[in-house]
Amino acid sequence: LPAYQPYVPVKFEDQARVLLDAKVPVFSFIVGVPAKEILEECRRQAIVTIGTATTPDEAIILEQAGVDLIIASGFEAGGHRGSFLRSSEDSLTGTFSLVPQVADAVSVPVIAAGGIADARGTIAAFALGAEGVQMGTAFLACEESGASALHRNAILSGNARRTALTRGFTGRLARGIHNQLLEELNRPGVEILPYPLQRFLVRNLTALAEKAGRPELLQLWAGQSANLSLQTDATRLLQTLIAEVSSVAGPVLRWTRK
């Protein structure tokens, strides 16, 4: 068995203070609403705040707190979505059902996220009321990504056609590519520790699996549209998206703003 590193808790307030001291231009967060003092300091420094909602009610709470933009994250998204009013299992609205509900519920700009991997998804999100999109998995597959080669290769492989939700990786519900580790942790009767204890337990195993080149024992975060990802770099991906969206998005945007 590997030697386990002790769990050392990290305070969100300490992390937020680092960002405020660095005077970052944008502060994006999930799993709730930061303390009033943090958001007030962001406004004082003209830092743009972006909160994540997985339900219309969460979006309303974020707007009431004074958040500048809201990400509407559907259950197709890879990794953690960050539900905070209800359990993650009770907040599994899909992106293209969630986006118009959130857009109707709040007055701040809405960013669509979850299962958006190309121009088709982007234009569809605009038609539903989003003013922007957030793409994760498509950029994880890019050459500049901080993801490991094993992770990038998994996204670009046929295995990415199958993803699943699990609490087994971290203790919070999250989506990844189906593999041996995910299947074993999702078996009935397997005891899962609460977040973040499960994360610290599993990461010792996955660190060794990474060194051994064993993708079947890794947590391979990816959304449901991972199979649409391209083997390219971030610049070319952005250029392609901009060109394809620009060629047809005009009528859609004009229609949605009538």
Q: Is the pTM of this model over 0.85?
A: yes
Domain count, the chain: 1
Domain holding 103, by residue range, is: 12-256
The whole-chain average pLDDT of the chain stands at: 93
Task: Retrieve residue 51's tokens.
Answer: 């909160």
Identity at 136, one-letter amino acid code: G
pLDDT of residue 48: 98
Mean pLDDT of 193-221: 94
Whichever domain contains 164, its CATH number is 3.20.20.70
Could you identify the residue written with the tokens 């088709």? Answer: 120
In a domain, 103, yes or no: yes
In a domain, 2, yes or no: no
pLDDT of 108 over the 80 cut: yes
Q: How far apart are CA 137 and CA 220, in angstroms?
A: 10
Q: How far apart are CA 138 and CA 152, in angstroms?
A: 10
Mean pLDDT of 165-171: 97
In a domain, 6, yes or no: no
In a domain, 5, yes or no: no
Tens-place pLDDT, residues 18-74 = 999 999 999 999 999 999 999 999 999 999 999 999 999 999 999 999 999 999 999
Identity at 253, one-letter amino acid code: L
pLDDT of residue 11: 86
